[in-house]
Chain A
Amino acid sequence: MAAAGVRATRPGRLVAAVLLLALGWLVVYPLGLVLLESVHSAGTWTAAYLRQFAARSSEWHALWGSLWISVASVGLAGLVGIPLAVLVTRYEFPGRRLLAGVIALPVVLPPLVGVIAFLFLYGESGFIARAVQSLLALDEAPWRLEGAGAILLVHAYSMYVYFYLFTRAALLSLDGSMLEAAASLGAGRWRTVRRVVFPALRPALAGGALLTFMAALASFSAPYVFGGGFRVMTTQIVSTRLNGETALAMVETVSLTALALLALVIFRGAEREVGGSKGTPPAPVRLASPWLRRGLAALSWSLGAVLLLPHLTLLVVSFVPVGTWTTEAIPPAWTLGNYATLVRDPVRLRPLVNSLWLATTATVASVAISVLAGALIVRRRVPGRRLLEGLLALPWAVPGTVFAIALATAFSVHAPWSGRIILVGTVWILPLAYLVRNLPLTSRATLAGFRALDPSLDEAAASLGAGRWRTLRTVTVPLLRPSLVAGATLAFVTALGDFVTSIVLYTYDTRPISLEILASLRQADVGVAAAYGVVLMAVSALVFALGAGRGGSGIA
């Protein structure tokens, strides 16, 4: 029994090797197969699919669509998120706290749920459209929620949070005395912002931009529901595959992956950390003019309302009996029937149970693997630790659609000697897919937690006679709890609301909530779809709230 020292021990190396192999098999190998199958068919190398891809203008349109939608999403999300962060962090006005609380609300809406909420709200038969229609006495809906504009609207709403969180954190870590120093050196307000504040914020802005870009590039729900004739690569892949052109779908998958990796490389250059400062953040400015204060307050309250509208819409629709609400401003009838259907009908209840156990299993496994990997990478410093860390982070860089296709490709063939077994169509493929997609979320938090942990705590435990297992159980894990909870919360909520991987890999027995929402919507069962959405939203919010409560109390 070796102690929790800083050196790699033989069992440590063995476990690391097993972990590397497992991740290689689950993460790298499927992606490699996709790459292979895009240029290799029936035992020979071929460029036919590449040529086919290049010859079709629809492919280029989809790729270009993915790119410009992602860039525009970054711009829009930044335009909303950055001013909000500055407003909430730097200025004191009535309603500041309320706004700060409401701002994070889009997070509890899983992608598909956000999309249907927008549909109910801004769609051609949604509240707003109907209100405008009756107000202006129009014959038909004033707009159609379709195409690139609709996608961008949803993206701006669901992705500005990245910019908001990053910018706010950076503003809070700004040293107030730095601003005072700039002022004492004769720098005016504009020069201070340009020369002092902006350079300090730049890594955060780059971080927010990267997250937004990757999320927009991987976005599936919004283009799937609102795209109409407008294609982006994620929806293109799924429809090509549905048409049976599997090899072409592989080429498309490779092209999307290449785009994601390229973006990652470009953004990483800008994200480099500026030396941190340890000071107190500048105090929020109390605006002198009462009019300005009131204006800001009014603005923040109305903004809060806009942010809350999708949630409220979902809630309202979930209580309306199907087909009773047509043109009225307020629903004429209310019912609990939609929820009763969810609970009473075993076929309707199944997806709820499925999503809960799938997300729980994947999250628990992902946290366990992350703790193991964290101990090996940070504490034991095993050989290959950089590779291990890279493999854990890789699924984040690859759009969900790509991963789903890759897993579907790798595990639909029975060839044990080449590491391929049939998992597609079994109960195992979805939890496995969720697990792989969860790993970056939990491992990032766990590794950061391990790095912040004083190694002499491990040594203290060892010198007090505690073996490796007892040290892990009584010292390491309790101290890591805030990081573990943060990672697990994010992972659980993501898995619970997952749509993009599920739509490729689900079976009837494991169908998750998101697919049932889609099915209900197709059957015009709007109330039930909304009820599912509300359940997802409520569980996500509950998990986030629990996580915030648990994580915070780790160390007094």
Chain B
Amino acid sequence: MPFLRVDGLAKRFGAAAAVDGVSLAIERGEVLALLGPSGSGKTTTLRLLAGFETPDAGQVIVDDLDVTRAPPVTRRFGMVFQHYALFPHLDVRGNVGFGLESVDVTGAELERRVAAALELVDLAGFERRRIAQLSGGQQQRVALARALAPEPRVLLLDEPLSNLDPALRERTRRELHDLIHRIGITTVLVTHEQEEAFDLGDRVAVLRSGRLEQVGTPDELYGAPANPFVAGFVGRASTMEGMVVAVLEGGTRVLAEGIEWGVPADAGVQKGLVPGQPVRVLLRPEALWMAQPQPGTLGAVVEARRFAGATSLFLVRTDGGTLLEVSGAGRPVAVGHRVGLVPSRRAGGGIHLFPVEP
């Protein structure tokens, strides 16, 4: 029995559907990341969970209790806002103690629990600081402590790291990850950054235009994307047009750019494909290998080298005119060189087939 359940949630703003029939089931203590581009409805979904918006249809059920119409005051959901929404006229203690005062915690007990919440986010002794005196990272942690202090049933995080500078973001992400897993609170977070979603979420829900595209662990989303959108949004991928040649026990063979490619059966999504069917072939950068140009390989010219590092990403144009992204580990290939592309040694891993919609 999931702890937090969302059934067929829908919300329109005027003519536009912000959330369009989203259903989710989240186990107790699980961390779910809502991932999607801007306008995908992820923030609206979070606000529906928090009770700041009332859905046009659907239900929010927590701990077997329908809270769809319950005002936020009674939900006991802790929320960390994108811009933190710390009360600027109160000090750290006033902010963190605010939710405790709502449930009539006072005196020494209040002080103790405020101190405990601050301890949790590594800000022990910060009670008397004014909000304006805190750095961005500290403000984020105070916001977290404030949300956690009243011991909410569910923790909601709206783009929790987007307001931090990149150097701080990575470290804060680790700390946040450790904290929410340590206290084991059921968490829903919203982000448009795939890395953030994959790192923080036990499972990730990919949203597009208010609709749920796929829910799964990061491995499932990357290894077996349900559709070209998920494949393209999660990780990097280039596309070739192709045609199914044969559907075999061990996998599918497909012809694209004049080369026959093998796609193992466990990559999913090729159920129901028949020989002769046109397909879209999605290639992860690591699916291809750059060899010497020779017969049997896919001829291509290196057009650009994206960024240097342990593995550079190369932009190559095939003889058929398609632009592909290929990761080339360590191989010194200069721009303008001719290469021959072959499936990498991972035996067809990172190739996904999707039927072309008529």
- Give residues in A with beta carbon < 8 Å to B: 1-3, 5-7, 454, 456-457, 459-467, 470, 474-475, 478-479, 554-556
Contact = CB atoms under 8 A, between A and B. Distances in A.
Given A3-B51, A462-B72, A465-B73, A554 B89 contact: yes
Contacts of A466: 73, 98-99, 102
Interface in B46-74: 50-54, 71-74
B349 interface: no
Nearest to A467: B73
B192 interface: no
Given A459-B85, A479-B88, 13 more contacts: A5-B71, A457-B85, A459-B52, A459-B79, A460-B81, A462-B51, A465-B73, A465-B103, A466-B98, A466-B99, A467-B73, A555-B132, A556-B130
Contact of B72 (A457, A459, A556): A459
A2 B54 CA distance: 11
B73 A3 contact: yes
Q: Which of B73, B78, B85, B87 neighbours the largest number of chain A CB atoms within 10 Å of its CB?
A: B73
Interface string B23-64: 000000000000000000000000000111110000000000
Residues of B in contact with A, size category = 20 to 34
B76 interface: yes
A555 B89 contact: yes
A2 B81 CA distance: 20
Contacts of A461: 87, 98
B146 A3 contact: no
Nearest to A555: B88
Contacts of A462: 51-52, 71-73
Contacts of A457: 85, 87
B264 interface: no
Contacts of A465: 73-74, 76, 99, 102-103, 150
Contacts of A6: 52
Contacts of A454: 83, 85
Contact of B83 (A456, A464, A474, A556): A456
B79 A463 contact: yes
B50 A475 contact: no
Given A464-B146, A475-B87, A478-B89, A459 B98 contact: no
B50 A459 contact: yes
A-B CB proximity, top 7 nearest = A465-B102, A464-B99, A456-B85, A460-B85, A462-B72, A3-B71, A463-B79
Given A462-B71, A467-B73, A456 B87 contact: no
Interface in B102-149: 102-103, 130, 132, 146-147
Interface in B223-281: none
B93 to A, nearest CB: 14
A463 B98 CA distance: 10
B314 interface: no
A7 B85 CA distance: 20
A6 B71 CA distance: 12
B244 to A, nearest CB: 51
Contacts of A474: 98
A5 B71 CA distance: 9
Nearest to B78: A463
Contacts of B103: 465
A283 to B, nearest CB: 26
A478 B94 CA distance: 13
18 contacts: A1-B71, A3-B71, A5-B53, A5-B71, A456-B83, A456-B85, A457-B85, A459-B52, A460-B81, A461-B87, A462-B51, A462-B73, A463-B72, A464-B78, A465-B74, A465-B99, A470-B102, A554-B89
Given A3-B72, A464-B146, A465-B99, A479 B83 contact: no
Contacts of B147: 463-464
Contacts of B73: 1, 3, 462, 465-467
Q: Which of A3, A7, A464, A466 neighbours the largest number of chain B CB atoms within 10 Å of its CB?
A: A464
B222 interface: no
A75 to B, nearest CB: 44
B320 to A, nearest CB: 49
A454 B87 CA distance: 10
Contacts of A475: 87
Nearest to A553: B89
Q: Which of B72, B83, B132, B146 neighbours the largest number of chain A CB atoms within 10 Å of its CB?
A: B72
A459 B103 CA distance: 17
A24 to B, nearest CB: 30
B77 interface: yes
A2 B77 CA distance: 16
A464 B102 contact: yes
Contacts of B102: 464-466, 470
B51 to A, nearest CB: 7
A537 to B, nearest CB: 33
B71 A556 contact: no
Q: Which of A2, A457, A465, A479 neighbours the largest number of chain B CB atoms within 10 Å of its CB?
A: A465
Contacts of A478: 89
Contact of A463 (B53, B77, B87): B77
A460 B79 contact: yes
Contacts of A1: 71, 73-74
Contacts of B50: 459, 463
Contacts of B85: 454, 456-457, 459-460
A13 to B, nearest CB: 16
A442 B311 CA distance: 64
B150 A460 contact: no
Interface in B6-28: none
A3 B98 CA distance: 16
Q: Which of A456, A459, A460 neighbours the largest number of chain B CB atoms within 10 Å of its CB?
A: A460
Contacts of B72: 3, 5, 459, 462-463
A466 B86 CA distance: 14
Contacts of A459: 50, 52, 72, 79, 81, 85
Nearest to A454: B85
Given A3-B73, A5-B52, A459-B72, A464 B98 contact: yes
Contacts of B88: 479, 555-556
Nearest to A475: B87
A202 B48 CA distance: 44
Contacts of B150: 464-465
Contacts of B75: 463
Given A459-B79, A463-B77, A2 B71 contact: yes
B74 to A, nearest CB: 8
A460 B87 CA distance: 9
A478 B73 CA distance: 20
Contacts of A556: 88, 130, 132
Contacts of B77: 463
B99 to A, nearest CB: 3
Nearest to A471: B73
A2 B87 CA distance: 21
Contacts of A460: 79, 81, 85-87, 146
A456 to B, nearest CB: 4
Nearest to B70: A3
A354 to B, nearest CB: 36
Q: Which of A463, A465, A466, A479 neighbours the largest number of chain B CB atoms within 10 Å of its CB?
A: A463
Nearest to B81: A456
Nearest to B88: A555
A474 B75 CA distance: 20
A478 B83 CA distance: 20
Nearest to B132: A556
Contacts of B79: 459-460, 463
B152 to A, nearest CB: 8
A351 B71 CA distance: 51
A238 B98 CA distance: 56
Contacts of B82: 456
B202 to A, nearest CB: 23
B227 to A, nearest CB: 34
